[in-house]
Copies of this chain bind each other. A is one copy, B any other.
Amino acid sequence: MPVEVGFIGLGAMGLPMAEALIDAGFSLTVYNRTASKADPLVARGARRAATPADAARPGGITITMVADDTALEAVSLGNNGIIERLGPGGVHLSMSTVSPALSRRLAEAHARCGGAYLACPVVGRPDRAKARKLWILLSGPAAAKERVRPLLDAMGQQTFDLGERSDAAHVMKLVNNFLIMSAIEAIAEALVMAEKGGLDVPTVARVLTSSLFNSPMYQGYLDIITRGAYDPPGFKLKLGLKDIELVLGMAGEANVPAPTASLIRDHIIEGLARGMGELDWAAVALVARENAGLKR
């Protein structure tokens, strides 16, 4: 008999992750604020939950993959939230990109109910989610981690264990995203220098990815920026603002100055002010172009 799992949040990332679980034989109860997003999963046998709490059962496992801190609080706390419903022995597998501060609060709330909070954000964009090639960052109580391992194996290519702390994997995720955004910003500035310096930009991209920068991240973003392929977005610029503000919030709490993060935030805001919010967050490269007097 298949393991039953709740899954809340069926956006660009959540949907392919839930599909991976169905493919692997898990039985899902799914919830999304806009209910129609669940249709493809229901068509494949998933049960539709009426409330977040309805996607949890006592002692079970519920996965959350929602947009931000506010959404995660909304589906976790209160009468309709999953924490009370999961109760003793329940496991909240929290895969969203959220603040470490919230994760600590939720972990305490779960602990008060006898359940466990697992920090479990993922690295990768929707294409990786579809290909089950996500990298998974995990931290929290050991027993709970053991229990969710088959789920993680179905969704990702590798899981990194960051220890027992409820916030560790979220810190790691923000560090990762900060490094991505820093690289995008640097690529953006570099390619404008190259172009105005008379180089052929695709050649520049080829040289970089053939030498020191031959990693999936540089390959991916150099390709997007060189082709100007910001739409459809893999990850929207306006969500990038959320992420960099999470980074700045985390750093600020710990009294860590983060000037590169500040600079990125300013450039994302410039992009939003110029109507780029729905484009891929690599569109900071368009900001860099315009700031150097080039056409978009």
Contacts and interface: CB of A to CB of B under 8 A. Distances in A.
Chain A interface, >50% SS class: helix
Interface stretch (A43-51, A78-86, A224-232, A252-260): A252-260
A163 interface: yes
Contacts of A1: none
B189 A158 contact: no
Contacts of A34: none
Contact of A208 (B163, B176, B203, B241): B176
How many copies of the shown chain assemble into the complex? Answer: 4
Interface in A233-269: 241, 245, 247, 250-252, 254-263, 265-267, 269
A174 interface: yes
Contact of A255 (B172, B178, B258, B293): B293
A168 interface: yes
A245 B175 CA distance: 21
A130 to B, nearest CB: 17
Contacts of A187: 179
Nearest to A194: B175
Contact of A293 (B211, B212, B267, B274): B274
A215 interface: yes
Interface residues of A, number: 78
A175 B190 contact: yes
Interface string A253-296: 01111111111011101101111000000000000100111000
B250 A258 contact: no
Given A135-B211, A180-B212, A183-B182, A262 B260 contact: no
B193 A137 contact: no
Given A172-B204, A193-B171, A185 B250 contact: no
Given A160-B210, A182-B182, A256-B269, A175 B196 contact: no
Contact of A182 (B186, B241, B265): B186
A257 B267 CA distance: 7
A42 to B, nearest CB: 33
A255 B241 CA distance: 11
Given A193-B174, A197-B250, A273 B258 contact: no
Nearest to A255: B273
A186 B260 contact: yes
B165 A198 contact: yes
A257 B183 CA distance: 17
Most chain B C-beta atoms within 10 Å of own C-beta, residue among A211, A213, A250: A211
The 8 closest A-B pairs by CB, nearest first: A273-B293, A182-B186, A215-B215, A262-B262, A255-B273, A212-B217, A196-B254, A171-B197
13 contacts: A123-B211, A168-B198, A178-B190, A179-B208, A179-B212, A189-B259, A193-B250, A193-B251, A193-B256, A196-B255, A256-B273, A257-B292, A262-B265
